[in-house]
């Protein structure tokens, strides 16, 4: 069983629209992360989240982005007013603890902005 | 200097060969280190953690040198299925939370 599942697998959206990407971890994961990978580039950290709060965020994670865990299970990444350059793979990752253990990645959502 | 630097490759090797990948990182405060594997357009998958004492998992051996901020991965008896991009990954805890910093990856192609 995968540690985390992501939906949708592929999202196509018109520029300027809002998108919500979803991540569902198995129950004993408490720490959540979002990363993105633009085609042909490296994986980049966006944000970490614990106990309903952002723990750490990168320069990429500006006011256009937000995260929440609305129902105690789904962990969402919302991107407002999408731009062409938001097109990328978005990966959710999880860990059980905060001790620097490996993060386990979902299979990603491919976001295409037209 | 890049935060995590790797030779992008590609490394084209015959089946059965031994291949070594190197990586350097710039943040001396980094606490934990990993090699991940990524297949084309898929998610990164953990290959192994890397420890200063060196660690081995089957055909794979990883090594960390904190003094020189250098990480290595050795693959012995390479298989066709080892063809992938190998990502050197460094974890840093900044007081707020953990974050992984990825290298650009080294592409490996194992050929018959």
What is the arithmetic mean of pLDDT over B91-109?
A: 91
pLDDT tens profile A4-32? 999 999 999 999 999 999 999 876 778 99
Q: How many residues does chain B have?
A: 112
Cβ–Cβ below 8 Å for A98 and B97? yes
Minimal Cβ distance to B97: which of A55, A91, A102: A55
Cβ–Cβ < 8 Å for B10, B109: yes
pLDDT tens profile A61-85? 999 999 998 887 889 999 999 999 9
Query: Which chain B positions have a beta carbon within 8 Å of A35's beta carbon?
Result: 100
pLDDT of residue B97: 82
Best of A102, A104, A107, A108 to disrupt the B interface (most B CBs within 10 Å) is: A102
Q: What is the mean pLDDT of chain A?
A: 93
pLDDT of residue A107: 95
pLDDT of residue A1: 64
Owner of token pair 């297949």: B39
* A-contacting residues in B 19-58 (Cβ below 8 Å): 31-32, 34, 41-46, 49
Task: Count the helix, strand and coil residues of chain B and give each as a percent rounded to the nearest 5.
Answer: 5, 55, 40
Q: Does A17 touch chain B (CB under 8 A)?
A: no
pLDDT of residue A100: 84
Q: To 5 degrees, how large is the angle CA A8–CA A13–CA A19?
A: 60
Query: Which chain A positions have a beta carbon within 8 Å of B101's beta carbon?
Result: 45
């Amino acid at each position: 069983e995968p540690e985390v599942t992501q939906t949708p697998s592929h999202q196509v959206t018109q520029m300027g629209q809002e998108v919500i990407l979803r991540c569902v971890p198995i129950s004993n994961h408490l720490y959540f992360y979002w990363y993105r990978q633009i085609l042909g580039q490296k994986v980049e950290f966006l944000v970490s989240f614990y106990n309903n709060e952002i723990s750490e965020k990168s320069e990429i994670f500006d006011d256009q982005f937000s995260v929440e865990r609305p129902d105690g299970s789904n962990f969402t990444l919302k991107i407002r007013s999408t731009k062409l350059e938001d097109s990328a793979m978005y990966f959710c990752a999880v860990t059980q603890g905060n001790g620097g253990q490996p993060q386990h990645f979902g299979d990603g959502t491919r976001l295409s902005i037209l | 200097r890049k935060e995590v630097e790797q030779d992008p490759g590609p490394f084209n090797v015959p089946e059965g060969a031994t291949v070594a990948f190197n990586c350097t990182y710039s943040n001396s405060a980094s606490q934990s280190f990993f090699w991940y594997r990524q297949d084309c357009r898929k998610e990164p998958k953990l290959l192994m953690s890397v420890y200063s004492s060196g660690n081995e998992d089957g055909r794979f051996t990883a090594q960390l040198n904190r003094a020189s901020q250098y990480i290595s991965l050795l693959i012995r008896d390479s298989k066709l299925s080892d063809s992938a991009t190998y990502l050197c990954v460094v974890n840093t805890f900044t007081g707020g939370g953990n974050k992984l910093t990825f290298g650009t990856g080294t592409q490996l192609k194992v050929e018959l």
